[in-house]
Structure 1
Amino acid sequence: MPDTYDAIVLGAGAAGLMCAARAGQRGRRVLVLERAEAPGKKILISGGGRCNFTNIGAGPANYLSANPHFAKSALARYTARDFLDLVESYGIAWHEKTLGQLFCDGSAKQIVAMLMEECAKGDVTVACGEEIAAVTEDGGYAVTTQTGTYRGKSLVIATGGPSIPKMGATGFAYDLARQFGMKVVEPRPALVPLTLGGDEVLFREISGVSAPIIASANKTSFAEAALFTHRGLSGPAILQVSSFWKAGDPVTINFLPGRGEGWLLARKCDTPRATLRAVLREALSARLADILADKLGIAADLGNASDKALRDAEKRLAQWDFRPNGTEGFAKAEVTVGGISTAELSSKTLESKRTPGLYAIGEAVDVTGWLGGYNFQWAWASAVAAGDAM
């Protein structure tokens, strides 16, 4: 490989490859350095191997950041429809699942192949198996690996966050950002299962049971499925609220969404000889219904239960507070909340405000999407913003 480039991109993930392709096709000489032995490893495992590559409804409201306005510019200039046009131009068949989530009909390998072909169109050099030993700045950027030292006018941090360390993920992006004087918002696991302890350990006994619920944390709610696990709570609704949950906070679950106030009293009138356990089994799995009924402590027929007890049961079923004692950590987190502070970056170009020619994109930045293709869309949009600016 030659040793001088217009831009060096660190990381051959979704954001890194997209950025490199965009800059390369604009005539820039681009080198991508990747630590893993192959590009796009996280892409390949996403969406159960089919890659939930975007969400057709992606917008700023679907992202968490210390600055909720930061993502607006990039997302507006490169939309889900723009990426879908690229996917379709390669003849990749796709389908929409619930809530606007778009997946490949075939394999996530198609998305990686598409990005590599886009890089090839821009004569981008993608070098894998490169361990970065040092990065320095002296009017440009010098990156030293075990194979040599490479120089670039611009440097792009696209190495992601520390989620899924078994895939080789680390906090390298944050260390590098700090090296250049940029602030980092404390990273924490997001889109991650929650763990239960204390009296709530009882719910681990129904591991494998799921239910359509509404989960809430810090005034944010999601109506999807929850899954009880041998360690606590998971499933789409729980993964979603985990990004908003903070240690010590409750997670509130509505086990019977759509039931209006007084529904249990009405049921008492209609079927006074029915038990709460039997009524709950009509809407929920038997194991979950039984554990909830036992916790509520109404063993008598509805007709023999007081109205107050039934009102209290209604309220508890609609607002059942769990007190997670933690999360399953970065090992099981799909993404990271926090990262390189958006206050350090231009929202238009993703370039550092204090160090010209230094860019940060994708998951490395303090912009975190909901579950369902939103994080990929931020990867594409932020990559295009940087790639078009270099």
Structure 2
Amino acid sequence: MRNPLSKKVVEIEPSGIRKFFDVVNEMEDAISLGVGEPDFDTPWRIREEGIYSLERGRTFYTSNAGLKELKEEIAKYESRKIGVSYNPNTEIIVTVGGSEGIDIALRAMLEPGDEVLIPQPSYVSYLPCTVLADGVPVVIPLQQKNEFKLTAEELEAAITPKTKILVMPFPNNPTGAIMTREDLEPIAKVIEKHDLFVLSDEIYSELTYQCSHTSIASLPGMRERTLVINGFSKGFAMTGWRLGYVCGPKLIIEQMVKIHQYAIMCAPTNSQYAAVEALRNCDGEVQQMREAYNQRRRFLVHEFKRMKLECFEPYGAFYIFPNIQEFGMTSEEFATRFLEEEKVAVVPGTAFGACGEGFLRISYAYSLEDLKEAIGRLGAFIGRLRNQQGVRWND
């Protein structure tokens, strides 16, 4: 019998995030800090609008690119948030989550052999989506000494004549790193110099704690060469509603709509109506969630300092990325032992690229009570490890 499978697909590794999540579900009294999903319910007024849309019989297809009313609200939102104007009729597409936006953007833009620069550690989808689009992923390892920000020097060194797209994954999953305007300006100069395009994943743009988010699309000369990926999962606590969007040049968006048209048809209709309400009237709820995340973030930073666990301070998303190299174990070994001995699931840094070795991703999209219990267990665990090594840490 002929092999029914694509070699390209078979060779793609499954996501490393879900492994520990699946195990912890079978454990009694276990705590998971592994999944990047808000612990908040979707704000009531958003849910109510979704329910209302169903009661009104709004259960039919929308246009392929998305509900006109929603695209208009997205354009207003991006204008006030990042200071960039988009034509809702030609420069915005509504997708099934931000992940679909990443997928169809790469498929619309890449020719076989085109190189895509992917700073890592970063979200797991960029590399396989590049491979599925017949592109060549080129990893740029980010450094803890630079707070996991991309530098112009690192970017310049990775560019070849085949480079076409740079992924900008900030605020970053898993590190929590952000890029300020001052950080982005030298990056933009390199992009223009080499005539590159940018895939700017801004799904965590509502969750920054040091300063407001800056989009690279807002810098001079960047709008026409940048696709902004965003959505409702993280900032609006709407993961299960599966709704995202992409803003960018008409030339690219119209080709993305074509792929979306054949593969998806349109995003869920009631989710689109709910998202209109989210953009119009939920700034207050988003602010409340952001404040709660910030409280948890500051708690974890304080606790890691107290237990002398090396970790730079993250200023975006809802993750923290401690360094566990002192214990002489791989990230996978540390996470496995921590789960087995203390019943707490975290994600090895290597799930987000090889340069994540020696780190863990801990999500603080969980209640403060769960975080306190989990950090207590972490303190006990690393205390035992240090005692075995003859190291004193709690003086």
TM-score normalized with structure 1 length: 0.26
Q: Please identify which structure carries the higher helix content.
A: 2
Q: Please identify which structure carries the higher strand content.
A: 1
Give the structure with higher Rg (CA). Answer: 1
